[in-house]
Amino acid sequence: MSPPPTWPERAARRLTPNYRPAPVVLTRGDGVWLYDQEGRRYLDFAAGIAVCALGHNHPDLTRAICDQARDLLHVSNLFLNEPAVLLAERLAALSFADRVFFCNSGAEANEAALKMARRYMRTVRGEDRYEVICAHKSFHGRTWAAISATGQPKYHEGFAPLVPGFVHVPYNDLAAMEAAVSPRTCAILVEPLQGEGGVVDAAPGYLAGLRALCDAQGVFLIFDEVQTGVGRTGRWFAHEWAGVTPDIMSLAKGLAGGVPIGATLCTDEAAQGFAPGAHATTFGGNPLACRAALAVLEVIEREGYLAHVERVGAQLGDALAALVAAHPAQVVGHRGRGLLRGLVTAPHVDRAAVVSAARERGLLLTSAGDDALRLCPPLIVGGAHVEEAAGVLSGVLGAL
């Protein structure tokens, strides 16, 4: 009699083949640690791709979710619910924004931003402006418009023709962005720090230059803060480091600590692009997701995690610099800010093999872009965890 199929075998048999999951089945988490079916413990420097801001099983977040589940799970946007209104007020207080649209993911938040900008130009200004200028190596999500905005051809394969009206120029190149602006331009969409593109920092003056360009040309500046927002870089939003604000901003990932949510924040002016019936989502503003997000924001503020992220993030940056010095044949640099960091590998290094070897040694991380290992642990991570992760990576790199 043959043995029963393993969980990976069962998954391979029934799930669509668009993922390549690691051959482990995770069953529970506690703080910065995850555990699999065999009881093995892993130090989580992936955080569900920068999602689990408070780590796993945080008591305040768990309590908020349980309490809200007992009260009210869903009503749709045909009715108001208290958590959604409270969260909109809180996000407005923390940011430049006057208004908030809730959805379920980063891709949806970017879709809303794009639709808002295009519709504003046509219905409010009466102008045929529809083009959005984006950056090479950007990533804005997996819906059709979002992949059309994404500046990485690998995400376009098999989906042509893409949504028209997107122009791509090199990131950190103000001159190229200025040259791309035309009478058809309605918005510029960039990440203040590119995540999936390889953890690439905005150059000094770049975001301020984009703000000035948009002001001069009368177009919207949209910041995709899906991966960088909610304290990930040591500020509530990464664009704060540059001292500039956008007209529209997308959030998701860490906002509700693991409960799916997306949000599009905007000024009163940009919000005129929407009117009743112009855009909607059944689950957006779900009371459970909004209650979870309120708990995440409260914990980050109460526990001083922004300063913590800046401090521990600097330690992580120092640790990566030390790895570059110790293993110059394998890693050639590091990028990022706060707790979103990239360790740049030499061209010959098999990053998938490094990720796999680190997992075997009890460390979870991911790769990003063409040349980076991405480290984005929960915001609650401590200095001892950073030292442990660096030790594991040093062992892996030394064994290559």
Cα 161 off chain centre by: 26
Quick one: tokens of 269? 């002016």
Cα 329 off chain centre by: 30
Q: Which residues have a catalytic role annotated?
A: 139, 224, 253
Q: pLDDT band for 233, please (50, 70, 90 cuts).
A: very high
What phi and psi values does residue 199 have, to the nearest 5 degrees?
55, 65
* Domains of the chain, start order: 7-57+304-398 (3.90.1150.10), 72-302 (3.40.640.10)
- According to DSSP, residue 364 is labeled E
pLDDT, position 2:
81
Q: pLDDT band for 15, please (50, 70, 90 cuts).
A: very high
Cα–Cα distance for residue pair 40/237, rounded to 1 Å: 35
Q: How far lies 273's CA from each of 117, 125, 163, 213, in Å?
A: 6, 10, 20, 21
Q: Single out the residue of 143, 268, 130, 272 nearest to residue 187, CA to CA.
A: 130
| Pairing relationship of beta strands 363-364 and 41-44 according to DSSP bridges | parallel
In one-letter notation, the amino acid at residue 378 is: P
pLDDT, position 206:
98
Q: Do 133 and 176 contact (CB within 8 A), yes or no?
A: no
Cα–Cα distance for residue pair 166/130, rounded to 1 Å: 9
Cα–Cα distance for residue pair 186/392, rounded to 1 Å: 47
pLDDT, position 68:
98
Q: pLDDT band for 57, please (50, 70, 90 cuts).
A: very high
- According to DSSP, residue 124 is labeled I
Per the DSSP assignment, residues forming a β-bridge with 44 are 364
- Global pTM? 0.97
- Listed in order, strand segments (DSSP E) in 282-330 are none
The pLDDT > 90 percentage for the chain reads 99
What phi and psi values does residue 90 have, to the nearest 5 degrees?
-65, -45
- Listed in order, strand segments (DSSP E) in the chain are 26-30, 33-36, 41-44, 99-103, 131-135, 166-169, 185-190, 193-194, 200-201, 220-224, 248-251, 262-266, 331-337, 340-345, 363-364, 366-368, 372-375
DSSP secondary structure, 50-75, as one string: HT-TT-BS-HHHHHHHHHHHHH-S--
Cα–Cα distance for residue pair 73/272, rounded to 1 Å: 30
pLDDT, position 69:
98
Quick one: tokens of 39? 């009881």
pLDDT, position 3:
87
- According to DSSP, residue 239 is labeled G
pLDDT, position 1:
74
Q: Which helix (H) or strand (E) holds 43?
A: strand 41-44
pLDDT, position 43:
98
- According to DSSP, residue 168 is labeled E
Q: Single out the residue of 265, 299, 300, 295 nearest to residue 86, CA to CA.
A: 295
- Assess whether pLDDT exceeds 80 at residue 357: yes
Q: Which helix (H) or strand (E) holds 289?
A: helix 287-302
pLDDT tens column, 261-315: 999 999 999 999 999 999 999 999 999 999 999 999 999 999 999 999 999 999 9
Q: Single out the residue of 367, 335, 337 nearest to residue 349, CA to CA.
A: 367
Q: pLDDT band for 202, please (50, 70, 90 cuts).
A: very high
Cα–Cα distance for residue pair 307/301, rounded to 1 Å: 10
Overall average pLDDT of the 181-194 stretch: 98
pLDDT tens column, 363-394: 999 999 999 999 999 999 999 999 999 999 99
